[in-house]
Chains A and B, each alone.
Chain A
Amino acid sequence: MSSEAMAAERPNYLNATTGLKSWLLTLDHKRIGILYLLGVSAFFVLGGIFAMLIRLELVTPAGDLVQPDAYNRLFTSHGVLMVFFFLIPAIPGVLGNFLIPIMIGTKDLAFPRLNLLSWYLFMAGGTMALGGIIAGGVDTGWTFYTPYSSTYTMTAVIPVGLGVFVNGFSGILTGLNFMVTIHRMRAPGMTWFRLPLFVWSHYATSLIQVLGTPVLAITLVLLVFERAFHIGVFDPTRGGDPVFFQHLFWFYSHPAVYIMILPSMAVISELIAAFARKRIFGYHAVAFASIGIAVLGFLVWGHHMFVSGQSVYAGTAFSLLTMLVAIPSAIKVFNWSFTLYQGSVSFQTPMLYALGFIGLFMIGGLTGVFLGTLGFDVHVHDTYFVVAHFHYVMVGGTIMGYLGGLHYWWPKITGKLYPEFWGKISALLVFVGFNLTFFPQFLLGYMGMPRRYHAYPEEWQVLNVLSSAGASILGLGFVLPVLYFAWSLKKGPLAGRNPWGARGLEWETDSPPPTLNFDEPPVMNHEVYPYADGEPGSTSGMKPASAH
């Protein structure tokens, strides 16, 4: 242990420079990752508080805790903060930023200044949105549907819309930065098919960020113009078409769902490989599935409009394309599951999150197929069934992946180990609390409970109470990691370079890594995930399972 203790005192990215300015003006991708961690955590806490208030209101059928106006502001603020300022930036901003340069064996992202600018744009956008929420709030739902948002509501659509707009550029620049870095900065020997799947999935994410986000940007510009100058493009009384807004909005916002889930899939691939000590089964299939999801994701936006009065033929085409997106997702799930076959599986906290992810994402993905099925969607459209579905994907998928990844790379990021026992407890609480919160919502949705309802018929109270009870367990599951992560910073044991016995360039450098990531520029002279190959890169004498 003494050598590790010495390693921790070596210069690393955390102790290289000190002072607030050294953080606020840092160009180091790892420090920017930490800045994102602080930012997204703050927005997650706020969004979570709004969620708790929503669940509290829905404990009773009558709308009695808050006024309808306040309730509408709550779910809108919850949606806006969680989607745009937590789910979209969380994994790319924190883990992607920290890990992509290290994983491909380079010193930093291609454009460090742009990377810092991305963070400032994210914070500026978040502050504007938050300002709008505080100074009057916004009550349109995170979807900003016209003409309610453009003509009828009296709330702060413009500041919140502009906040989301500014934040969009943060996403675009991050995506651009990742793509250029992955194309141009790989270490010698790091071919495309030696890239960790984390990098592949982030590449796919970046593709959507760069191609999709500008369409949201122009949509929000038009919305703000409509509201400020009444230009008429979404106003039916001036010859505009409110449904056109939905097309533009979902052209971005459906792919945005994949911006949120693909980075989580990126994390899961790494976790499964590390804790099964085996190369991901069907590496090529999983890599191309990410790209497939990104590309197909752009062709399915119309499935949000099956009941909007669009032609039945358009609905049919969008339904067919939606079905096709299920295939790359299925390929991923099957390959992850099969990676465990003949693996060396251990059940540490990150792996519990990964296995939980597979289960919850299965349900989220399959109910996605339900909703893509035209005849079924008509009944459950805009009901709690949809709410349950996307929370299974967004919370069960994205947040499980984010938390799993945070646990897995925590020793790398901070150099400290978190307490494994409490980690497992939190994983269990999140899994149980999550299912209790959102599974009843599937049933409520099928029974007909519309989403965004402040009051509801009495016969649905039992399921709503279950859901609210689950939410409090879930909330506890989210609070625990904050506590023990903070504890580990002070008192956690030193992690050493590779506490998991995992493979990958990030485990071949110090924890925490030096400012330029590696003492010697790395060379990739073996395949990716070389657990069974006995190839260079294995630092300890591990044996294949068959030896036992």
Chain B
Amino acid sequence: MNFKIPFVPEQASTMARDVDQLTFFLVGMAVFFTVLIAVMVLYFALRYRRRAADQVGSSFDHSTLLEVTWTVIPLLIVLFTFGWGAKVYFRLYRPPADAVQYYVTGKQWMWKAQHPTGQREINELHVPVGQPTRLLMTSEDVIHSFFVPAFRTKADVVPGRYTSLWFTPTKPGRYHLFCTEYCGAEHSRMIGWVTVQEPEEHQRWLASVPVQTAPAVAGGELYARLACGNCHREEPGLAGPPLHGLFGREVELADGRTVRADEQYLRESILRPGAKVVAGYQPVMPSYQSQVTEENVLALIDYIKSLEGVAR
């Protein structure tokens, strides 16, 4: 498939072809029905055109068989369409387990990205070809949306929570990055590029960028500065639960619920600690809302993730 299909953007991710195939099916279906109706309408209209001023139509005005036909057949078609669409959707929003995680923060009007190895970029993202890539995203102000047409994927970037998307680039090149959720005056300038590189080239690029601290390391420094460890340590009797090996585990809460300790939960526990209190602890932790930025929170989460756990 090297020829260029008109009006179809570059296929540069593993999902692009799946989405395009779905599109071709949809277009085929639409063309079929539109032509069917157009031919029917034009044929009937001309064949039964009025030939005398006082002429009226026949009394043939209902048919249960026809009604059932044009209820059931479209129903089957849309159910099939639904199933296909849902299959693609689940793949689009379910990252593979080995995906490498990058952090993206949207703010009026720029995209800030941070590599797992610490490099930071603005309105640019460099990734190696063939690497399953997951973006964990949040916004510092209003809702934005991260859209790369060549990858056929997009997700809103919402303040106050994390959203994510993933892709595996298949073709080196530079691809448009757009903000697709209206975000204010410079919305149409909140754009950038995703650059897909061959792995060696990507390594060279990584080396050429001045490395700042990797998020997990920065998180560790922040963790020490905020003295989180005073309460969260692997010791009994402290005010806070230990965080080692916490990430990904099921946590039992004081009110009897259980939640999975994912990024969303860690974020909420830093900013609104009382909302989900771990069973056996008191809601004594103050909110860190005013002391940390979204990027700080991401770094803290990365650090907590890196804490090797005591198996329980």
A-side residues, CB < 8 A to B, are 63, 68-69, 72, 139-141, 145, 147-148, 151-153, 236-237, 239-243, 276-285, 306-309, 312, 315-316, 319-320, 323-324, 326-327, 330-331, 333-335, 337-347, 355, 358-359, 362-363, 366-367, 369-370, 372-379, 381-383, 443, 446-448, 450-457, 501, 531-533, 540-548
Contacts and interface: CB of A to CB of B under 8 A. Distances in A.
A114 B20 CA distance: 53
Nearest to B289: A237
A340 B155 contact: no
Q: 7 closest Cβ contacts across the A-B interface?
A: A375-B88, A236-B160, A448-B149, A278-B57, A374-B89, A373-B85, A340-B44
B154 A452 contact: no
A323 B78 contact: yes
Nearest to A143: B182
B84 interface: yes
Contact of B187 (A72, A330, A369, A376): A72
B26 interface: yes
B45 interface: yes
Interface stretch (B30-38, B221-229, B244-252): B30-38
A346 B57 CA distance: 11
B198 interface: no
A284 to B, nearest CB: 7
A337 B180 contact: no
B89 A147 contact: no
B56 A544 contact: yes
A347 B156 contact: no
B270 interface: no
Given A362-B33, A362-B37, A448-B9, A375 B84 contact: yes
A293 to B, nearest CB: 14
A237 B187 CA distance: 22
Contact of B56 (A278, A334, A367, A374): A278
Contacts of A382: 145, 147, 154, 180-182
A459 to B, nearest CB: 10
Contact of B108 (A152, A282, A306, A308): A152
Contacts of B89: 306, 312, 315-316, 319, 374-375, 378
Contact of A343 (B33, B48, B79, B154): B48
Interface in B65-106: 66-67, 70-71, 74-75, 78-79, 81-82, 84-94
A370 B26 contact: yes
Contact of B78 (A152, A327, A452): A327
B214 interface: no
Nearest to A546: B58
Interface residues of B, number: 89
B164 to A, nearest CB: 9
5 contacts: A240-B160, A367-B30, A446-B7, A448-B9, A455-B188
Interface in B171-193: 176, 178-189
A285 B85 CA distance: 29
Interface string B37-66: 110110011101111111111111111001
A268 to B, nearest CB: 12
Contacts of B18: 375
B54 A543 contact: yes
Nearest to B32: A366
A541 B54 CA distance: 7
A344 B158 contact: no
A447 B149 contact: yes
Contacts of A278: 56-58, 61
Nearest to A386: B180
B23 interface: yes
A465 B161 CA distance: 40
B285 to A, nearest CB: 16
Given A152-B142, A366-B33, 17 more contacts: A68-B188, A141-B182, A240-B160, A276-B57, A309-B163, A319-B85, A323-B79, A323-B81, A326-B74, A337-B40, A367-B30, A375-B22, A379-B154, A446-B7, A446-B8, A531-B56, A548-B52
B183 A341 contact: no
A361 B185 CA distance: 34
A362 B50 CA distance: 25
Contacts of A546: 58
B70 A331 contact: yes
Contacts of A379: 19, 149, 152-154
Contact of B142 (A147, A282, A452, A548): A147
B272 interface: yes
Nearest to B75: A327
B30 to A, nearest CB: 4
B134 to A, nearest CB: 14
Given A139-B184, A148-B183, A376-B26, A545 B56 contact: yes
A148 B22 contact: no
A456 B98 CA distance: 35
A334 B38 CA distance: 11
Nearest to B16: A379
A323 B59 contact: no
Contacts of B289: 237
Contact of A342 (B60, B81, B178): B60
B172 to A, nearest CB: 19
Contacts of A383: 147, 180
A73 to B, nearest CB: 10
B153 A378 contact: yes
B143 interface: yes
A192 B61 CA distance: 18
Taking each of B9, B23, B179, B180, which has the highest tally of chain A beta carbons within 10 Å of its own beta carbon? B180
A77 to B, nearest CB: 14
Contacts of A542: 54-56
Contacts of B160: 236-237, 240-242
B143 A148 contact: yes
A246 to B, nearest CB: 9
Contacts of A341: 44, 48, 60
A337 B41 contact: yes
A338 B9 CA distance: 39
B59 A279 contact: yes
Contacts of B59: 279, 532-533, 544
Contacts of A533: 59
A279 to B, nearest CB: 4
B54 A453 contact: no
B254 interface: no
Given A281-B61, A345-B45, A366-B34, A540 B52 contact: no
Contacts of B49: 344-347
B159 interface: yes
Contact of B41 (A237, A315, A316, A358): A358
A158 B42 CA distance: 50
A355 B45 contact: yes
Contacts of A68: 185-189
A194 B40 CA distance: 28
Contacts of A448: 9, 147, 149-150, 176, 178
Taking each of B54, B87, B183, which has the highest tally of chain A beta carbons within 10 Å of its own beta carbon? B54
A421 B153 CA distance: 49
A39 B303 CA distance: 61
B178 A359 contact: no
B279 interface: no
B9 A366 contact: no
Nearest to B74: A330
